[in-house]
Chain A
Amino acid sequence: MSSNFPRVALFSLMAGPMACAGVLPRIDLPKDSPVAVLSSDPAGSSELSRGGAVVVDVHDALTLRNAGERRIRGITLMVIAQDISPGGKASVTVPSLNVAPGDTFPVRVDLRLLRPVQAADGFVQITLDGVLFDDLSFYGPDRLSSRRALTVYELEARRDRRYFRNLLEAGGPQRLQQEMLSAMSRSAERSGLAVQMVRGPATNYEPEHEMRFSFLQFPDAPVQPGDGVVRVAANEARGPRVSIRNKSDEQVRSVELGWIVRDQQGREFLADSLPTNLDLAPGQSREIVQDATLRLPMGVAGMTGFVRNVEFADQHVWIPSRTALSDPRLEQVLAPSPEEDRLIQIYKKKGLKALIQELKRFE
Chain B
Amino acid sequence: MSGPAIEVDGVSFAYGDREAVKGISFEVAPGEVLGFLGPNGAGKSTTIKILTGQLPAKSGVARVLGRDVRRDDPEIQRHIGVCFEEKNLYESMTAEENLRFFATLFGLKDVDTGELLDRVGLADRAKTRVAGFSKGMRQRLMVARALVNQPMVLFLDEPTDGLDPVSSKAIRGLIEEEARRGAAVLLTTHDMWEADELSRRVAFINEGRLYAVDTPENLKLRYGKRSVKVRARVGGEIVEDSVALDAEDTGERLKEAVAAEGLLTIHTEEATLESIFIQMTGRGLD
Question: Do these two chains interact?
Answer: no
Interface of B with A (CB < 8 Å)? Answer: none
Interface of A with B (CB < 8 Å)? Answer: none
